[in-house]
Every structure is written in structure tokens, then in C-alpha cells.
């Protein structure tokens, strides 16, 4: 059984009581000792944001999970994994796909128990509600920015801004074409497409890793509906 832990601290927020990195590690170690288990490694990140999965050691941990190297993942408290419900759901889906037992000690949450499964189902429902409410909030913010003459948001994958106009980026659009082909023709899941792109070192925006959620965005966005042959030829140059 391969047991790993994860501890995270946001250095831009006040440290939660008794939840500094050192205390998180102690909590995880104490739990494994009480259960008579041996932990292989506790990954640790100190970052300025908890709204991303692009943290150095979290990325290493996710890579091990994707490779099937993790049996159990233990955190001191649920929000030490991430504070974003959508990202929680993304990770929980990955744990389920890879048959990883997930334990959050302070909540007494264990994905292998009936009560733990109920809590995780609730997280999924909350993520769905949050996703449905995002478009309304985003729309209001976009309208406000337009009123005051601000550029709206980051350029989508495959494009960049130049003098407030979207300019296509051929190599990124070629990757988008591959994504749609894998989904529409080969019927691969979002997780499998992300795994394929990461294995080929085809990077997401700003050089990051691919995740199921970002794959889904591209597959559902009509911006990328086009003949992909020319795009794939661009990638091979």
C-alpha cells in the first residue's frame, strides 16, 4: 500500500490556528502511526494562492496518482488540498478513477466509508451549483468592464491579445484540434485526453499541465469548431 500525505500553506493569508506546515505534517504522521501504517512521503507546498493545481509538489503528487502509484492520500484538513470547490471535484474525480482512498483527518472524512462517500457526493453537488452560478456572475462582471472600457479577461487557449484584438496562435489551435479529435472521434474521456497531452509534453496555457476541467472547456467551446487538418499540420512543423 502506497500512502502519501499533502500539506499546503497560503503565505498570503493568516495561518489557520495549529495548521502551519509543520503541524499539518505532525497531524498526518500521528494519524498514520495510530493506524499502524507507513507513509512514503508528505508533499508540501507554500504558495500565494489556493485557487490553482499548478503548485510544484501538488503537480508531482497528481502525476504519481495518474501513474497509479498512490493507494491512499492523507491531508490534515480538507481545505489544505484546495479552497476551490470546482478543483476539489476535479481531484475527487481523479481519486475515484484511480481508486485512491482519500482521508481528511480533521473532518473525519474517509472516502472508503459510507459517511465519507456522502460528504464527497455533497462536494460534487456544491461544485455543480457553483459551476451553474459562474456564468451569471461572469456576465455581470464582463458587462461592467465593458462599460468602463477595460479589456475583458485573458485570451482563450489558442489566441493572444494584440491591440485589444484576438490573434490566433497556430500551435495552440493545433493542440485544440487534437483535443476535439480525441473526444469526438476516439470518444476518450476528459481525463484520458489530459493524460495523453501531458505524456506528449503538449502544454496548456502558460506552460501548465492539462486537467479534465480544461479539456472539457475546449470541447464545449464553439470557438474551436473548425476543420482541424491544417491545425494538426502546424503542430508537426
The CATH number of domain 3-123, selected from 3.30.310.50, 2.40.70.10, 3.40.50.1390, 2.20.25.90: 3.40.50.1390
Q: Say how far apart CA 175 and CA 235 lie, in whole Å.
A: 7
Residue 144: the pLDDT is 56
Q: Using the structure block, give the residue that is written with the C-alpha cell 476516439.
A: 186
pLDDT tens, the chain, 237 aa long: 899 999 998 876 666 667 889 999 999 999 999 999 999 999 999 876 666 788 889 999 999 999 999 999 999 988 888 877 778 788 888 998 999 999 999 888 898 887 777 777 776 555 444 444 444 545 555 555 545 445 556 778 888 877 767 788 888 999 999 999 999 989 999 999 999 999 998 988 877 889 888 898 888 887 777 544 445 454 555
CB 112 within 8 A of CB 103: no
Domains of the chain, by residue range, sit at 3-123, 159-235
Residue 153: the pLDDT is 62
Give the cell for residue 104.
481528511
Residue 220: the pLDDT is 84
Q: Degrees (nearest 5) of the Cα angle 90, 93, 95?
A: 110
Q: Say how far apart CA 82 and CA 80 lie, in whole Å.
A: 6
Torsion-angle region of 205 (φ positive above 0: left; ψ -120 to 50: alpha; else: beta):
beta
| pTM of the predicted protein model | 0.56
Q: Say how far apart CA 168 and CA 223 lie, in whole Å.
A: 11
Residue 88: the pLDDT is 78
pLDDT in tens, 114-136: 777 777 777 655 544 444 444 45
Residue 129: the pLDDT is 46
Residue 86: the pLDDT is 75
Q: Say how far apart CA 119 and CA 125 lie, in whole Å.
A: 10
CB 46 within 8 A of CB 21: yes
Amino acid at each position: 500500500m502506497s500512502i502519501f500525505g499533502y500539506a499546503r500553506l497560503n503565505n498570503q493569508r493568516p495561518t489557520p490556528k495549529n495548521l502551519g506546515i509543520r503541524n499539518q505534517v505532525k497531524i498526518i504522521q500521528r494519524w498514520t502511526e495510530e493506524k499502524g501504517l507507513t507513509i512514503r512521503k508528505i508533499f508540501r507546498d507554500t504558495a500565494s494562492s489556493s485557487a490553482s493545481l499548478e503548485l510544484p509538489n501538488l503537480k508531482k503528487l497528481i502525476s504519481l496518482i495518474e501513474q497509479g502509484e498512490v493507494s491512499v492520500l492523507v491531508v490534515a484538513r480538507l481545505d489544505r488540498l484546495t479552497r476551490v470547490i470546482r478543483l476539489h471535484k476535479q481531484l475527487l474525480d481523479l481519486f475515484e478513477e484511480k481508486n485512491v482512498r482519500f482521508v481528511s483527518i480533521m473532518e473525519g472524512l474517509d472516502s472508503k466509508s459510507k459517511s465519507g462517500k456522502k460528504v464527497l457526493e455533497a462536494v460534487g453537488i456544491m461544485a455543480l451549483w457553483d459551476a451553474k452560478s459562474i456564468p451569471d456572475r461572469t456576465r455581470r462582471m464582463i458587462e461592467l468592464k465593458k462599460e468602463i472600457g477595460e479589456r475583458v479577461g485573458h485570451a482563450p487557449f489558442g489566441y493572444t491579445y494584440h491591440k485589444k484584438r484576438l490573434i490566433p496562435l497556430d500551435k495552440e489551435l493545433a493542440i485544440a484540434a487534437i483535443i476535439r479529435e480525441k473526444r469526438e472521434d476516439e470518444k476518450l474521456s476528459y481525463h484520458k485526453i489530459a493524460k495523453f497531452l501531458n505524456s506528449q509534453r503538449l502544454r496548456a496555457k502558460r506552460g501548465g499541465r492539462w486537467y479534465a476541467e480544461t479539456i472539457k472547456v475546449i470541447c464545449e467551446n464553439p470557438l474551436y469548431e473548425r476543420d482541424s487538418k491544417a491545425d494538426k499540420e502546424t503542430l508537426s512543423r
